Amino acid sequence: MSQPPITCLLDAKNKLGEGCLWDEDGQCLWWLDIAPTSKLHILDPATGATRHWTFPIVLTCFALANRNRLLIGGEPGLFFFDPATGALTDFARPEIDRPGNRGNDGAADARGRFWFGTMQQNIAADGSDMDITRDSGALYRVGADGVSKLMFDNVGVSNGPNWSPDNKTFYFSDTKNQNIYAFDFDLDSGNLSNQRIFNDSKLHGYPDGATVDADGFLWSARWDGSCIVRIDPKGRIDRVVEMPVTRPTCVVFGGPELDTIYVTSACANMPPEMFKKRPLEGGLFCFNPGVKGLPKHKFGAA
């Protein structure tokens, strides 16, 4: 297919836009700017109306939850957030034994469990970058009871947890090491097996956030690659969609028919000359990919 037109919905100048999520019930888009001070944003694409909340801690990922709440993952663990009251309450601390780490990406599976990935802390208190020097991250499965189970260890930067449409394959990206893994997934038990490299291409930057379409293809945002790649179920790159930013970070299907892809991006600590070349760095974008996506699961759902 030819390159689709890319629309900038919001010149947000997000320092580190992440975690975009479509709310089918509310027909709105949620996303985070995770760099300090973290902000949670919501957009109604039909009207262009936006709202945001600000938090004193680094928050990095989330899922919709019951009682109109969000389950939000962040630097120290997992929290419930109530948009109606602004209340943020503790829920789980999967990684209290690794104080040099922080949370990163996460998603809920079809049984309502939350898969929460971590990484070495790389954001200083003033928002500046710190080097990632070790593969100290991990992936955890967190149940509705708050109990966490270590699922995968020795990760550089955790990103892109996703499932195939039949829930038989789990995908997970290690951005630092430029690998996307596939695992056999048992939906009932939540267990993983048969780990393998799904795609390790170095041609299009680093694999960041991801989503799966209704045909079972994985769409991967490519940090420092200025594009989104579509990967077929055998791990082959099927399509490359060029983006007007250097660091696309996360993708999700949305819209009334789930036929629009929304894309967040980052602009933190970029040299000024980058903005001359790509003035929309850190913006929120969308395009029509010509295929439909799947609704995202809620935390705690049966």
Per DSSP, the chain holds a count of helices (H) and strands (E) of 1, 24
Does residue 14 have a pLDDT over 60?
A: yes
What's the order of all strands across the beta sheet hosting 237-242? 206-212, 218-223, 227-231, 237-242
pLDDT tens digits, one per residue of 130-154? 999 999 999 999 999 999 999 999 9
Q: Indicate if the pLDDT at residue 20 is higher than 60.
A: yes
Domain of 61 in residue numbering reads as 7-287
- Using DSSP's 3-state secondary structure scheme, residue 19 falls into strand
In a domain, 251, yes or no: yes
Q: Is 297 inside a domain boundary?
A: no
- For this structure, is 105 an active site residue? no
In which element (H, E) is residue 34 found? none
| 302 lies in some domain | no
pTM given for the model: 0.97
Q: Is residue 293 part of a domain?
A: no
Is residue 294 included in any domain, yes or no? no
Of the listed 33, 105, 208, 213, which one is catalytic? 208
Question: Does residue 205 form part of some domain?
Answer: yes
How many folded domains does the chain comprise? 1
Share the mean pLDDT of the chain: 96
Residue 179 lies in a domain: yes
* CATH number of the domain where residue 187 is located: 2.120.10.30
| 156, part of any domain | yes
